[in-house]
Amino acid sequence: MLRLIRERAQGYIAWVIVILIIIPFALVGVNEYFETDSNVYVAKVNEVSIPEFEYRRVYQGERSFRQSLVGGDLDSPFMNEDSIKRSALDRIVNTEVMSQAASDNGFNVGDQLLLQAIAEREDFQTNGVFDAGLYNNLLASNNLSPADFEANIRREMMANQFVSGVMGLAIVTDFELDALLKIQEQTREIGYLVLKAEALKALDDAREFSEEEIKGHYDKNINRFSVPEKVSLEYVELSSQGLLADVQVDEEALLELYEDRIDSFGLPEERRARHILVNAVEDASEADVEAARAKAAGLLARIRAGESFETLAKESSDDAGSAIDGGDLGFFGRGMMVTAFDNVTFEMQIGDVSELVKTPFGFHIIKLEEIREDSTKPFAEVRDDLELSYREQQAEDILFDQLEVLSNLTYENPDSLVIAADQMELVVHKVSFFDQNSGDGIASHSSVRKAAFSSEVMAGNNSEPLEIGENHMVVIRMDEHKPKSYRPLEEVRDDVITLLRDHTAKDAAASLGESLLVALKEGADATVIAAEHSVEWTKTALIKRKDSSVNRELLSAAFRIAKPAEGETKWHGLKLMNGDYGIIALYQLKEGDLSQVDDAARESLKSALQRSRSQSEGAFLVDSLKKQAEIKEYPGNL
């Protein structure tokens, strides 16, 4: 659809479509349809104004990057439009702040370094080599001049160079590393018990709750019993896929399309060869390599003397796959074999037998059997593909025309879809009730749900065209609305009582636990206390903070308790996330033994600390520069 927008976009409705349909580009750049007047800015950093079209370049890059991460899932929370805009604006402001600081501090990126960086980008390479033609074409297709693009890259390189220099100053001393390792490798001897709320709940099952208690718990937890706001929709849809069958195929147009694309229908030269392989793997001893070479030389001499290549291949080749066919490898194109084999084969004439060819597999003798010259697929062979492509192009044309008509009709008649449907011979579909978080059919798309609950649609108006797939657009309007409500107490009484029992049991576990904790601190025997309440007191040996035998919440809490004095026991109680109550005793704490830490673990931790500190230094630098700079943002221009 981008091609159609470029060729035919005009008028207010067309621009609405341009804004709605955002397509990622092969090269992040400035799209001419996002460009605005040069006096429109998104931000100002000190005395430098950042134009809206430059922000769009970064915005498109951020959007394309996120889209690549989520596989094109436009409904992913990661594709939230406000988040993308904020991230893009932050990036371009950060870059400008850093590049200004870099310039002020004498940093510069020379032409040679700049050109090297550009040449190394895969976007601009053909077969691993910088392609000036591809470079210029990609920039032109995204409305970027080389000068503007190179200025942007230079500025970004300066910014990165500056912040990287500061990040590189971050160090981790051996003293810091030792201190952290001692903590990381620390061991503790603990004891613990867990009071189960569920067990206390079972003891309380017979309890009757008063109406006042039930009503109070219902009111306190009313949101648990809410029924979310819901709407049902009417909608009409347009899609290029639905128009494919309506396209009339013009044979002359197909022939013209074939001529336009004829370069893409080329068949490269292929060659058919036989070979005899004598194995000599890369790590073979020198004696084994020489033995293989001698064997291959002997076979080559017999071929030169007139013996059958095919027979010798069957008898002597170490390539079992081809040996059975007399060494026949079939047809293959350039680049399909290892380099040495490939280079020799594509220099030979039919009937030639090569000298010995050394590859990582060993020594080869090659005989060229046939050459299939490069050619072009005939029209008849590619006609079906061309027809499908033609239909898709024409369907996009029709879709673009119909979309503009639909936009006009639904905008001019905002309180109904019937007029547009009648005039365009569309069907008004319906979607049953759904809420803001989930729905069926087109309501499974977050963009549709967001529009459905917007003030415009809730007021009874038609939506703007919404893209729910490639060349698939819908216009929606509200059919019925159900405000947020609450299930009555009479309907959820049993649920409320269940919640009340759960809540009471958890409170009881906490209350009992706190009273037992007091007793334990005063000298009560933990084993006796545990037995009295039908729970187990567990005492561990010295364990590390990653021990898997202890509940993670208990273990984490145990390693937060202050070190006890010699012969002292430290006590701690805590509510667990599931409502149970845990009591922990810390008997002793031993610092980590650095002699037990191997060099690999030490270096791994040091590297992790270095990265973390470098990132923190970089973030702190950028934050400091932004606080010192005079920054003004214009969110209305995003």
Query: What DSSP element (H or E) covers 205?
Result: none
The Cβ-side half-sphere exposure at 167, using a 13 Å CA radius, reads 16
Question: Where do we find the tokens 């195929």?
Answer: 249
Q: Residue 21 has what pLDDT?
A: 28
Sheet of strand 538-544: strand arrangement: 538-544, 187-195, 581-590, 570-575
Strand partners, 549: none
Sheet of strand 472-482: strand arrangement: 429-434, 230-239, 472-482, 466-469
Strand partners, 573: 583
Backbone angles phi, psi at 169, to 5 degrees: -80, -15
Where helices occur in 443-488 by DSSP H, the ranges are 446-452, 455-458
The Cβ-side half-sphere exposure at 610, using a 13 Å CA radius, reads 12
555 Cβ contact list (under 8 Å, min separation 6): 543, 545, 547
Strand partners, 478: 233
Residue 358 has pLDDT above 60, yes or no: yes
Q: Tell me the pLDDT band of 12, cut-offs 50, 70 and 90.
A: very low
Q: Tell me the pLDDT band of 23, cut-offs 50, 70 and 90.
A: very low
Q: Residue 243 has what pLDDT?
A: 74
Q: Residue 17 has what pLDDT?
A: 32
Average pLDDT over residues 298-302: 95
d(CA 325, CA 319): 10
Distances (CA, A) of 108 to 103, 105, 155, 157, 164: 7, 9, 9, 9, 14
d(CA 47, CA 638): 20
- Give, as one character, the DSSP assignment of residue 126: E
Average pLDDT over residues 483-510: 93
Q: Residue 615 has what pLDDT?
A: 81
Residue 412 has pLDDT above 70, yes or no: yes
CB distance 362 to 280 below 8 Å? yes
Residue 533 has pLDDT above 70, yes or no: yes
Question: Where do we find the tokens 């750049």?
Answer: 29
Q: Residue 15 has what pLDDT?
A: 34
Q: What percent of the chain has pLDDT over 70?
A: 92
Q: Tell me the pLDDT band of 299, cut-offs 50, 70 and 90.
A: very high
- E strand spans, 280-421: 328-333, 357-359, 362-372, 375-376
Average pLDDT over residues 16-40: 36
Q: Residue 169 has what pLDDT?
A: 73
For the stretch 95-121, pLDDT in tens is 889 888 888 888 888 888 888 888 888
Side chain identity, residue 55: Y
CB distance 428 to 418 below 8 Å? yes
Average pLDDT over residues 435-444: 92
Q: Which one has a higher pLDDT value, 193 or 76?
A: 193
Helices 146-167/111-119 angle, 10° precision: 100
Sheet of strand 631-633: strand arrangement: 48-51, 41-45, 631-633
420 Cβ contact list (under 8 Å, min separation 6): 236, 406, 409, 410, 413, 426, 475
Q: Residue 442 has what pLDDT?
A: 94
Question: Rounded to an integer, what is the distance from CA 475 to the centroid of its chain?
Answer: 30
d(CA 164, CA 588): 45
Q: What percent of the chain has pLDDT over 90?
A: 48
Residue 8 has pLDDT above 80, yes or no: no
Backbone angles phi, psi at 226, to 5 degrees: -80, 150
Q: Residue 555 has what pLDDT?
A: 95
Q: Residue 136 has what pLDDT?
A: 82
CB distance 541 to 549 below 8 Å? no
Q: Residue 453 has what pLDDT?
A: 93
Buried b (16+ CB within 10 A) or exposed e, 125-162: eeeeeeeeeebeebbeebbbeeebbbebbbbbbbbbbb
For the stretch 606-628, pLDDT in tens is 888 888 888 888 888 888 889 99
Q: How many C-beta atoms surround the C-beta of residue 494 within 10 A?
A: 8
For the stretch 123-139, pLDDT in tens is 888 888 888 878 887 88
Residue 558 has pLDDT above 80, yes or no: yes
Burial of 357 from C-beta contacts in 10 A (0-12 / 13-18 / 19+): buried
Buried b (16+ CB within 10 A) or exposed e, 588-597: bbeebeeeeb
Q: Residue 204 has what pLDDT?
A: 66
For the stretch 225-280, pLDDT in tens is 999 999 999 999 988 877 777 777 888 888 888 888 777 787 788 999 999 999 98
Q: Which one has a higher pLDDT value, 302 or 596?
A: 302
513 Cβ contact list (under 8 Å, min separation 6): 195, 573, 581, 582, 583
